[in-house]
Amino acid sequence: MTQDTTKGALFIKATVLTLGALLLFAPFLFQDTRSLEVAARICIFVVLVASYDLLIGYTGIVSFAHTMFFGFGAYGAAIALKKMGPGWDAVLVGTLAGLAVSIVVAIAVGLLSLRVKAIFFAMITLAAASVALVLASQLSDLTGGEDGITYKAPQIFKTATKLMVDENGKVARLFGVKLNGKLAAYYFVFASCLALFVLCLRMVGSPLGTVLKAIRENEARAEAIGYRVVAYRTFVFVIAAIAASLAGTIYAVWLKYTGPDTALSFTIMIDILLMVVIGGMGTMYGAVIGATLLVIAQYYLRDLMGAASEALHGWPLLPELFAPDRWLLWLGIIFILLVYFFPKGIAGTISAMGARS
C-alpha cells in the first residue's frame, strides 16, 4: 500500500484533520447562528457520505435508498419526541424504532435484490425510496404529511438552558460564547458524528474492508476464494443503513423539525451522490472534504450566483441559468466532468500525487 505514504495522502490527512479541528471549535470561531447551522449540517453529512462510501466506493454497489434510511431515523426520533414529549427516553425509543425499521427494510431489500446486477439493485432501491417518500407524505396522521413535524428537543439542548452560570446568575461566557443549550446540542451532534465516522474508518481498515474491496474488484474471484458475496453485501448494506439511520436521528434532534424536504427528499440523495463523487469514492477522507465543500457551496454559493444573475441582467436566458436556485445545474455539470476525468474525486486524485516521486 503505497497510498498511505505519498505526499498527497499526507496532505489529504492534514486537510481532514484541519477540517475536523475547525468543526470542533466552530462555535468559538464563527459566532453566528448560520455558521453553526452549516457546521452541524457538515457533521451530519460527513456521516451520511462516509456510510454511503462504504457501499459505493468500497463494495461497488449503487443504492438510491440511503436517504430512506436517513429518513427512517429522523422520523423515528421526530414521532417519538412528538408523542412522548421532550426527553431522553423519547430519543432512545425513536432511535431504536428507526434502527429496527431500517435494519428490517435493508435486509429485505438486500436479500431480494443484491443477488442481481448492480443496475437492478440501483433501480429497485430507487423505487423503494420513492415509495417511502410517498408514504411519508400520505400517512399524514403519523408523519405530518408535507408539513412535517415540529417538536421539542430534550431540555438540555434548549437555547434557554444555562449550562453554567456566572455570579450574577446569567449564562456564563467562554471566549465570548454563551454556554447555553445550543452549544450542548452542537457538541452532541459533533461527538456522535465523530464516533460514527471513526467507526466507518475503522471498518474499512479491518479485514472486512479488504473483503469488501475484493468483492468490488472481482466478484467471481471473491466468491471462489470462499467469501459469500451476497452475505457480505447484505451485511455492509445493513451497516450503512444503520449509520444513515443514526445520522437521521441526530439531525432530527438538532433541527427540532422533520419533514420530507429535510429527511427524505430525492435532493438529499443527489447531494450525497455529489459529495461522495466530488470528495472521492473509496477514500473515506473524501467524505469529509466533499461534504464540507458542498454544504458550504449550498449555503454561500447561492449568494454569489444571485450576484452573477443580477450582473447579467438584460441578457436572454443567462440570468435564468445563473439564478440562485439553479446552482444544482452547475454542480451537475461539474459532477459529470469529475466522473469523466477524475473518477477518484478530490481525495483520490491528490492522494495519488507524488506517488512516483
Partner 1 sequence: MNQLSQTLGETLGRIGGVNLLPVAVGLIAFVLIGAPSSWVTLTVAGLSMGMMIFLMASGLSLIFGLMDVMNFGHSAFVSFGAFVSASALAYMSGWLGADSIFLNILALFLAFAAALAFGLVAGWFFEVVIIKPVYHDHLRQILITMGALIVSEQIILAVWGGAPVSVPRPAFLEGSWLLGDVTIEIYRAFAFALGLAVYIALYFVLKRTRIGLLIRAGVENREMVEALGFKINRLFVGVFMVGSALAALGGAMWAGYETLITPALGGEMMIVVFIVVIIGGLGSVEGTLLGAIMVGLMANYIGFLAPKLALASNMILMMAILLWRPSGLKPAVK
Query: Which three cell numbers, joined as nine digits, stand for 170?
Result: 446569567
CA distance 338 to 112: 32
Opening angle at CA 351, ends 346 and 352, nearest 5: 105
Contact residues for partner 1, defined by CB under 8 A? 56, 60, 62, 112-113, 115-120, 122-124, 126-128, 130-131, 134-135, 138, 266, 270, 273, 277, 317, 320-321, 323, 325-326, 328-329, 331-333, 335-336, 339-340, 343
Task: Provide the minimum distance between the beta carbon of 356 and partner 1 in the complex, in angstroms, as a whole number.
Answer: 25
Task: Provide the minimum distance between the beta carbon of 246 and partner 1 in the complex, in angstroms, as a whole number.
Answer: 26
Opening angle at CA 16, ends 12 and 19, nearest 5: 140
Question: Residue 297 is which amino acid?
Answer: A
Task: Provide the minimum distance between the beta carbon of 62 and partner 1 in the complex, in angstroms, as a whole number.
Answer: 5
Task: Provide the minimum distance between the beta carbon of 230 and partner 1 in the complex, in angstroms, as a whole number.
Answer: 13
Q: Identify which of residues 112 and 304 has a Cβ nearer to partner 1 in the complex.
A: 112
Residue 77 near residue 98 (C-beta atoms within 8 A): yes
Q: Identify which of residues 191 and 336 has a Cβ nearer to partner 1 in the complex.
A: 336
Residue 301 near residue 289 (C-beta atoms within 8 A): no
Separation of first and last alpha carbons in the chain: 16
Contacts of 112 (CB under 8 A, 6+ apart): 124
Query: Which three cell numbers, joined as nine digits, stand for 209?
Result: 474492508
Q: Identify which of residues 296 and 333 has a Cβ nearer to partner 1 in the complex.
A: 333
- The interaxial angle of helices 207-217 and 181-205, nearest 10 deg, is 70
Task: Provide the minimum distance between the beta carbon of 136 and partner 1 in the complex, in angstroms, as a whole number.
Answer: 11
Coil, strand or helix at 115:
coil
Task: Provide the minimum distance between the beta carbon of 181 and partner 1 in the complex, in angstroms, as a whole number.
Answer: 38
By 3-state DSSP, what share of the chain in percent is helix, strand and coil, each rounded to 5? Answer: 75, 5, 20
Residue 58 near residue 209 (C-beta atoms within 8 A): yes
Task: Provide the minimum distance between the beta carbon of 130 and partner 1 in the complex, in angstroms, as a whole number.
Answer: 5
Q: Identify which of residues 64 and 190 has a Cβ nearer to partner 1 in the complex.
A: 64
Coil, strand or helix at 154:
coil
